[in-house]
Amino acid sequence: MGASQTHSAYKYQDLMTKTGFSLEQIKNLHYRFRQLSENNETLSRENLENIKDLADNPIKKQIVEAFFDKRNQHQNEMGSFEEIGFEQFVMVMSHFRPPTPKMTEEEKLAMRKDKLHFLFNMHDSDNDGKITLEEYRKVVEELLSMSGDIEKDTARGIADAAMLEVASTNVPNMGPDDYYEGITFEHFEQMFKEVEMESRMHVRFLDVDTRTIHS
Amino acid sequence: MDDPQASLEPTKGNSALFKLNYPRIQIPLEITLWMLLASFAKIGFNMYHKITIWVPETCLLITLGLIVGSIMYFANEEPPAVHTNTVFFLYMLPPIVLESGYFIPIRHLFENIGTVVWFALVGTLWNSFGIGISLFAICQIDAFGVHDISLQENLLFASIISAVDPVAMLNLFEDVSVNEQLCIVVLGESIFSDVVTVVLYNMFNFQAKKEVVKATDVLLGIAEFLEVVFGGLIFGIVFGFVAAFTTRFTSKVREIEPLFIFMFSYLAYLIAELFSMSSVTAIVMCAITMKYYVEENVSQRSCTTLRHVIKMLASISETLIFFFLGIATITTEHEWNWGYILFTLLFAFVWRGLGVLVLTLIMNPFRTIPFTFQDQFALAYCGLRGAISFALAFTLPDFIGRKNLFVTTTIALILVTVFIQGITMRPLIGLINIRKTNRNLYTINAEIHCRLMDHTVAGIEDICGQYGHFYWKDKFMRFNDRILRKILIRDRRAESSILALYKKLELQNAMLILDVVSGDISAAPSIISLYEEKKSSSKPNKLLAVEVKKMHDILSKNMYKIRQQAVSFTSKHALPNDSQPREIVIRRHNSIRRSLQSHGFHRAVKTFFFLHVPDVQENMSEVVYPSRTPSPGPAPLSSPLREVPSVHDRGKSGRTRHGMSRTSSSYSDSHVPAPRRHSKSSTSDKNSAGNFREPHHKAEEPEQQQRPLSPPTAWAAEPKDNVTQHPLLRQPQWNPKKM
């Protein structure tokens, strides 16, 4: 096993530089990956959907889809995978790293943009670079789907209001004939102008070897 | 103000027509007069905005007390001894802590709970022991002549003066928009340090009686501490739930709803006192637990009343305490010991500063957003002492030999911190360039995405198999939705926060309109008194009819404003600030304008926005938004705002009229917290719907008319989409020909 050890250590190195995780974190993630994929090389959607705890999550579908979305791989590709390997898995996870105090301003901005892109991609399921009203509605419906008996109309109403809000803040003087195509990434960013989302959108990846702790 | 006034004896056989019975009313009269005096001073104070910026209100109160105290001193009178242990702990302290607990922003608190508890608990302990031990060391030096103060007494004293009261600083932080983490830590620390202080006080009080402290005493002390705090927590939570549960059934007795809340909180406090648990913790936990559920169950008016009264009581208590502080400064017997006092001041600063530094150092790695040095400085510097310290010192038991010295020192410390630190804080904060806040603008989008992020992160955590902050939060929210809400909230619907926010925004918007119209929002409920809730809505009609012109001006651009709400950390002297309007613009319906133009109607069109008000009593739900023809911009949001183009009306008058279709649908059902009301309102709606149609047709004239308000309805259902235009979707334009 020596060969595979060094091989994986080498691969980890690569991943480490690409994603910014530490070696321990990557090892933990790999362990988890193997668990989820039942020791296969690749992970499929079913593997993720079978996670018990995820069942209660209202936006489970979007989250799972995010893993298979090529856009989250920083490769400037579009479309989606059928199955993903460990590398892709870690790449997606890297969107959730917390900002560290040692980062420079550019790095912080880059990270923020990264996270925003992730969210944007979650909405924009048809890859056209815009969040249309339909897509937004869908997300809001899903989001509210588990909070009791919210009628479809409410969710729609809320999505509409939100959309209109974006429209009015970004395109203040729409004439009567204009319509708002959809939320572009710039507008999306604008939405978060005053929200500190880097800290909301982070997972504390464990550094210690958790093999013995969780099942 | 002593007993001198005897009743005038009737002379000459006149019957005693003119009697003065001062002693009977002496105490209540004095308290009332003091309160009035302090309140007048506050009014005067707040007129000069410049002063309020620089000088915290507590300074003012103390100064006032000093003045009155000097007057009394020179008049050789004794202040009445109202300030006993019982009075303080049973009557004055509960309102203050209730207010702190009630208005603390819960979400922020729980996000930072680790830090808050860490600072409060460990910080206060650090301060107490640090100051106590160093003072004891000083006492050993004979030169100061305080050799006789034992360690226990020193510790007791130190615990008194480590209670910080930085709430005055919050006002300042708000003004300067300091980042929220700091605000919440400051706020949380003040509450929880009160808890710790009171517990320590009681403990050390007990210990001080003994001559020698054994090791077992220390362990016992620790165990007692834990027991007391957890006991208080449990009592608080239990009473909180009971209160919430009770409010579920109070819909018929709205007038006394706030009473339940107060009684239960106070009961929590008293019962905890009964069992010698930490009553402060109990009442704080009670407030935190029940706030969320209670505010959903009670009527809007009760909610307002509740908030106002809590603030008022807390304000009274605190005013009285500070006032009395001023008086006591002049009138009590002081024992001045330069050495002790100066060293106390020194140690208080030093230990606080050190404490903050060390604690932050330990805690920062665990925080998502670590504290910078500026934050730490602000935290250390804002450690003002206040009401609690004074009251505790004043009510020290008499067997403490050096009680007067302690009182003097405490007063000196309070005066120094409040005046010097209070006044210099503002420029210093400005200088140190502290991290400012990212206020969460409570726009719909922000709320949606915050939720989205929370769920996403929870999902990712599940995928990673790692349990974090969000896991527990998610779990709790699920538990809350499934179980707690069903038990404690009247309409049993699990409601998402997005929805709640939406309703709140709508309601606030309605209030905004009425506010502008009638000039003072608080007057509106008083006009519509509790007794009028059964009557029809004649009053609001008159209001609006009178203020037509004003409405025109405001709504001249057909803007429908929703208030955005910023989270604000409230000071003791201000209500939570939900009233800063920043607008989200929602524009008028595109098609209406088109149809206007196409039919040559260059006049106003009535648009009715029906807002749901949780409680019918408010009678301010419907607001009419007249609009002018040359309206710019795309269409307004029809669906959520219940702008309901009536299908019937389309056939008439060129579809420029929007009637009300009070289709009560299941949708509206689900959002009426008082479902019983719904049926009432829907029938009355239909009646007034009829009424509306009449004046409608008459209103062909160019002026905009006001529509009478009708009793509030539930949210009318959104008509199906094939009827309304949506501004955001490219749909076939409204065809004027279509009938």
**DSSP letter (8 states) at residue B87:** I
Measuring CA to CA, how many Å separate A6 from each of A10, A11, A27, A33? 6, 8, 13, 19
B82 touches chain A (CB under 8 A): no
A136-151 pLDDT, tens digit per residue, is 888 877 777 765 556 6
| Residue to substitute from B182, B439, B450, B460, interface A, most A β-carbons within 10 A | B460
The C-alpha atoms of residue B444 and residue A154 are separated, in whole angstroms, by: 13
A104 touches chain B (CB under 8 A): no
Binary contact (A161, B640; C-beta < 8 A): yes
Mean pLDDT of chain B: 66
Binary contact (B445, A166; C-beta < 8 A): yes
How many Cα atoms are found within 13 Å in the side-chain-facing hemisphere of A19? 27
**DSSP letter (8 states) at residue B335:** -
| Residue to substitute from B183, B435, B442, B445, interface A, most A β-carbons within 10 A | B445
A183 touches chain B (CB under 8 A): no
B563-588 pLDDT, tens digit per residue, is 223 334 444 455 554 433 333 323 33
- Extract the tokens encoding B15: 């019957």
pLDDT of residue B470: 63
Lowest mean per-residue pLDDT among A41-55, A201-215, B296-310, B628-642: B628-642
pLDDT above 50 for B687: no
The C-alpha atoms of residue B414 and residue B166 are separated, in whole angstroms, by: 12
| Residue to substitute from A43, A168, A193, A208, interface B, most B β-carbons within 10 A | A168
Q: Three-state SS across B517-569?
A: HHCCCCHHHHHCCHHHHHCCCHHHHHHHHHCHHHHHHHCCCCCCCEECCCCCC
The C-alpha atoms of residue B304 and residue B431 are separated, in whole angstroms, by: 38
Q: Across the interface, which of B455, B666, B729 has its CB nearest the CB of A59?
A: B455
pLDDT of residue B496: 57
The C-alpha atoms of residue A54 and residue A138 are separated, in whole angstroms, by: 19
Lowest mean per-residue pLDDT among B130-139, B318-327, B560-569: B560-569
> Of how many residues is chain B composed?
739
User: Are A30 and A206 contacting, i.e. CB atoms less than 8 angstroms apart?
Assistant: no
The C-alpha atoms of residue B591 and residue B267 are separated, in whole angstroms, by: 59
Q: Across the interface, which of A57, A154, A192 has its CB nearest the CB of B499?
A: A154
Which residues of chain A are within 8 Å of residue B593 when distances are taken between CB atoms?
Answer: 176
Q: Strand ranges (DSSP E) for B85-233?
A: none
Measured in degrees and rounded to the nearest 5, phi and psi for residue A44 equal -115, 175
pLDDT of residue A126: 77
User: Are B564 and B582 contacting, i.e. CB atoms less than 8 angstroms apart?
Assistant: yes
Binary contact (B440, A51; C-beta < 8 A): no
* Per-residue pLDDT band at B387 (split at 50, 70, 90): confident
How much is the average pLDDT of B447-465?
Answer: 77
pLDDT of residue B238: 92
B32 touches chain A (CB under 8 A): no
Chain center to CA of A165: 24
Q: Across the interface, which of B441, B456, B460 has its CB nearest the CB of A194?
A: B441
How many Cα atoms are found within 13 Å in the side-chain-facing hemisphere of B585? 20
Measuring CA to CA, how many Å separate B132 from each of A60, B164, B200, B221, B348? 55, 16, 12, 16, 10
B14-50 pLDDT, tens digit per residue, is 456 788 888 888 888 887 887 888 788 878 877 877 7
pLDDT above 80 for B393: yes
pLDDT of residue B309: 92
Positions of chain A with pLDDT lower than 50, given as ranges: 1-2, 210, 212-215
pLDDT above 70 for B655: no
B329-353 pLDDT, tens digit per residue, is 877 777 788 888 888 888 888 999 9
Q: Which domains does chain B have, with CATH numbers?
A: 83-431 (1.20.1530.20)
* Coil, strand or helix at A30: helix
pLDDT above 70 for B375: yes
How many Cα atoms are found within 13 Å in the side-chain-facing hemisphere of B652? 15
How much is the average pLDDT of B79-96?
Answer: 74
Q: Nearest CA of chain B to the CA of A59: how many Å?
A: 7
| Residue to substitute from A35, A60, A63, interface B, most B β-carbons within 10 A | A63
Which residues of chain B are within 8 Å of residue A133 when distances are taken between CB atoms?
Answer: 726, 728-729
CA-atom Rg of chain B in angstroms = 30
Report the run of H or E that residue B563 belongs to, with start and end.
strand B562-563
Higher-pLDDT residue of B228, B4: B228
pLDDT of residue B237: 92
Q: Of B148-157, B225-234, B295-304, B514-523, which has the strongest mean pLDDT?
A: B225-234
pLDDT of residue B688: 37
Nearest C-alpha neighbor of B321 from the set B379, B264, B385:
B385
pLDDT of residue B522: 42
Residue of B nearest to A137 (CA): B448
β A83-84/A43-44 pair status: antiparallel
Which residues of chain A are within 8 Å of residue B502 when distances are taken between CB atoms?
Answer: 158, 161
How much is the average pLDDT of B292-310?
Answer: 84
User: Are A173 and A158 contacting, i.e. CB atoms less than 8 angstroms apart?
Assistant: no
Q: What ipTM did this prediction achieve?
A: 0.87
Binary contact (B640, A157; C-beta < 8 A): yes
pLDDT above 70 for B141: yes
Q: Nearest CA of chain A to the CA of B496: how many Å?
A: 6
pLDDT of residue B529: 37
* Per-residue pLDDT band at B276 (split at 50, 70, 90): confident
Q: Across the interface, which of A57, A178, A192 has its CB nearest the CB of B459?
A: A57
A63 touches chain B (CB under 8 A): yes
Nearest C-alpha neighbor of B56 from the set B382, B320, B410, B348:
B382
Which residues of chain B are within 8 Å of residue A61 when distances are taken between CB atoms?
Answer: none
How many Cα atoms are found within 13 Å in the side-chain-facing hemisphere of B61? 25
B196 touches chain A (CB under 8 A): no
Please report the residues numbered 69 through 88 in chain A whose beta carbons come closer than 8 angstroms to any beta carbon of chain B.
none
Binary contact (A195, B441; C-beta < 8 A): yes
Q: Identity (one letter) of the amino acid at B263?
A: M
Q: Of A82-86, B206-210, B440-444, B577-581, which has the strongest mean pLDDT?
A: A82-86
Lowest mean per-residue pLDDT among B286-295, B451-460, B508-517: B508-517
B586 touches chain A (CB under 8 A): yes
Binary contact (B445, A191; C-beta < 8 A): yes
Percent of chain B whose predicted confidence (pLDDT) is above 70: 58
pLDDT above 90 for B266: yes
pLDDT above 60 for B187: yes
Binary contact (A200, B637; C-beta < 8 A): no
Residue entry with tokens 């980042």: B179
The C-alpha atoms of residue B230 and residue B282 are separated, in whole angstroms, by: 9
pLDDT above 50 for B557: no
pLDDT above 60 for B360: yes
Binary contact (B465, A214; C-beta < 8 A): yes
Q: Identity (one letter) of the amino acid at B209?
A: K
Percent of chain B whose predicted confidence (pLDDT) is above 90: 4
pLDDT of residue B268: 92
Q: Across the interface, which of A93, A165, A178 has its CB nearest the CB of B584?
A: A165
Which DSSP string do the residues of B304-317 spell out, in sequence order? HHHHHHHHHHHHHH
Binary contact (B464, A166; C-beta < 8 A): no
Which residues of chain B are within 8 Å of residue A33 when distances are taken between CB atoms?
Answer: none
B441 touches chain A (CB under 8 A): yes
Q: Identity (one letter) of the amino acid at B350?
A: V
Binary contact (B502, A158; C-beta < 8 A): yes
pLDDT of residue B32: 86
Nearest C-alpha neighbor of B728 from the set A214, A164, A28, A114:
A164
Higher-pLDDT residue of B581, B288: B288
| Residue to substitute from B180, B452, B470, B591, interface A, most A β-carbons within 10 A | B452
**DSSP letter (8 states) at residue B530:** G
Lowest mean per-residue pLDDT among A93-107, B313-327, B370-384: A93-107
How much is the average pLDDT of B92-112?
Answer: 84
Which residues of chain A are within 8 Å of residue B504 when distances are taken between CB atoms?
Answer: none
| Residue to substitute from A179, A188, A208, interface B, most B β-carbons within 10 A | A179
In chain B the first and final C-alpha atoms are separated, in Å, by 83
Q: Nearest CA of chain A to the CA of B673: how many Å?
A: 14
Q: Nearest CA of chain A to the CA of B51: how many Å?
A: 31
pLDDT of residue B264: 92
Binary contact (B444, A162; C-beta < 8 A): yes
Residue of A nearest to B631 (CA): A176
Please report the residues numbered 332 through 361 in chain B whose beta carbons come closer than 8 angstroms to any beta carbon of chain A.
none
B722 touches chain A (CB under 8 A): no
A45 touches chain B (CB under 8 A): no
pLDDT of residue B271: 92
